[in-house]
Amino acid sequence: MLQKSSVWLWLRKALLQGGAFVLVFLVLSVALDEWRGRALPLASIPKTVYFDVEGNSVDLLALSREGLVVVYFWATWCGPCKVTSPSIKQLAKHYPVVTIAMASGGDDKLKRYFSNAAPSLVMVNDNSQTIAKQWGVQVTPTVLFVKNGAIAGHTIGASGYPGLRLRAWWAKN
């Protein structure tokens, strides 16, 4: 039978090890994001106006001057995007989201992928990956948090809603 003091010692050790694991995970995650995002234009975003799948013009520079805008580079063929896309739908309830689909087929295919999305979710089709090259995006999924014409934060790879919401909050403040 374990004594009370040995249970507390075991619990303390487990909490310390768990905390150390979380800290190492966070440091590695941020370092990996920074390494993967080294080609991103952090100082200022491209000043190009795009057209969404509905034919409407999308001026990300103007949108970012109104507040934080989430720019989501993804693809229909991307496995990790299947994890991140539902979180992006949720995030669109709080922030304007512009999705840019890389080499993913026709506009109808994109609309089906994000069916029942929030009204603030805008889809741009980048079949030739010209937009992705302008932005220095090489990996899907890539989520950029744009504010006042500059990238205020980013994450690259599969992301869940809590992490995206925290990064959006961080970029906004």
Residues 51 and 83: beta-carbon distance below 8 Å: no
Which residue out of 78, 92, 143, 144 is catalytically annotated? Answer: 78
Find the DSSP H helices in the chain.
4-36, 60-66, 79-91, 107-113, 130-135, 161-172
Per the confidence metrics, is the pTM higher than 0.85?
no
153 vs 37, residue with greater confidence = 153
Tell me the one-letter amino acid at 114.
F
120 vs 103, residue with greater confidence = 103
Predicted local confidence at residue 31, as pLDDT: 59
Asked about 78 being catalytic, the answer comes back as: yes
Mean pLDDT, the chain, whole residue set: 85
Predicted local confidence at residue 100, as pLDDT: 96
Predicted local confidence at residue 27, as pLDDT: 61
**Is pLDDT of 117 > 70?**
no
Predicted local confidence at residue 3, as pLDDT: 67
Asked about 81 being catalytic, the answer comes back as: yes
Which residue out of 45, 68, 70, 81 is catalytically annotated? Answer: 81
42 vs 160, residue with greater confidence = 160
